[in-house]
A and B are shown apart, each in its own frame.
Chain A
Amino acid sequence: MSLAIIAAVVAAGAVAGCLGALLGIGGAVFLVPFLDVGLGLGFKVARAVSLLTVIATSSVVSSGTAGRHLINLRLGMLLEVGSTAGGLLAVYTVARMADSTLSALFALVTTAIAVLMVTRLEKRNVLETGADIGQFGGRFYEDESKREVAYRVKRLPVGMFASLLAGLVSGTLGIGGGILKVPILNAWCGVPLRAAAATSALMIGVTAVSSAPLYYARGEINPPIAAAAVLGVLAGSRAGFWLGGRARAKWLKLLMAFVLLVVSLVYFRRALG
């Protein structure tokens, strides 16, 4: 291992972190193929290192969003029951399945969500400020309309199931799993995109911690590579967060759907390859 490899990992981490923060997903979805295929570190090391960058992204994005009322702490904690259980379960079950099977499943899931994102593009989900938001709802200041908006959480079991699935995918593939939760929370559970993204960003950290220590104990984390990836992602996600506050929710959704399709193509290729 040389300075060149470390520099490449830092750069890849920065790009992944920036995209991740912009889209409200871990960004690890770009880092896993890079470490796995690009640097030839193997899927297991790529997954484990990537999970650590997910934790870093979660902490740094959440600390940036805190105070803007976008993070739904109660909904997040409730859904974390599902996502952490999924993360722990993944290590002992799905994570052991054949690479090609996992790639095919993941490709199908991302394609489905990309279609959902485009067909449900204008799902703002906001209510009048005085509306009853229930036990899990929230209020925040919406930049687009320049006023305080409220939302009510619907179909909680769907959100719980999505979180369990996201946890399983996170622990299995080394990604954050926000890629699964955010569209479902937005399309079916009544959560506005920004609140769903902020809540998901907080959740992915603790979700990754439900599986990462096990991979660390197995020696699947290469410390210098992990350090380089984490430092790159931290720099990139700060930049992405700064840019994200200036992008419109509609464009964010379109961009996210496009990214999902690209990711699914990559995984289809891997499944066939």
Chain B
Amino acid sequence: MTDTPLDRLEVHLGRLLFGGVVLSAACLAVGLSIWLAGGHAPLANGILATGLVMLMATPILRVVVSLVEYARMRDWFFVATTLIVFGVLIVTVTLALLKRI
């Protein structure tokens, strides 16, 4: 099977998703352990929050990397498509941050 730029992107994104999920799982495991041990509560909550935010940020990062790669391939139809998806995610994150403040 020929190795196209799209195939390489698939492998690339796979590694990105794996890295994101491993990092967030590590944070969640450490945070949960501290929380269960009844240790320093703000520390446990902070590490748990970091893990959860990292988990949610990983698919967003996947969309950003895809956007860059489609631009490099000069595949403008998919640059536009990816931009729309990214736009929806930006709306969600902005609304979530506004609610937090």
Contact = CB atoms under 8 A, between A and B. Distances in A.
A interface secondary structure, majority: helix
Contact of B51 (A73, A77, A148, A227): A227
Interface in A62-76: 62-67, 69, 71, 73-74
A221 B21 CA distance: 18
Interface of A: 3, 6, 52, 55-56, 58-60, 62-67, 69, 71, 73-74, 77-78, 80-81, 84-85, 87-88, 139, 141, 148, 205-206, 208-214, 216-218, 221, 223-224, 226-228, 230-231, 234
A213 B85 contact: no
Given A213-B92, A214-B99, 11 more contacts: A59-B20, A66-B11, A210-B92, A213-B96, A214-B92, A223-B49, A224-B48, A226-B52, A227-B29, A228-B32, A234-B25
B21 A223 contact: no
B55 A56 contact: yes
Contacts of B36: 3, 6, 224
B101 to A, nearest CB: 9
Interface of B: 1, 6-7, 9-11, 13-15, 17-18, 20-21, 24-25, 28-29, 31-32, 35-36, 45, 48-49, 51-52, 55-56, 58-60, 62-63, 66, 78, 81-82, 84-85, 88-89, 91-93, 95-97, 99-100
A84 B85 contact: yes
Contacts of B13: 62, 66, 73
Nearest to A230: B28
Contacts, number: 153
A84 B88 contact: yes
B89 A210 contact: yes
A77 B81 contact: yes
Contacts of B97: 217
Contacts of A58: 17, 59
Nearest to A6: B36
Question: Which interface residue of A3, A60, A148 has the most chain B CB atoms within 10 A?
Answer: A60
Contacts of A3: 36
A211 B92 contact: yes
Contact of B82 (A62, A64, A77, A227): A77
Contacts of A78: 78, 81
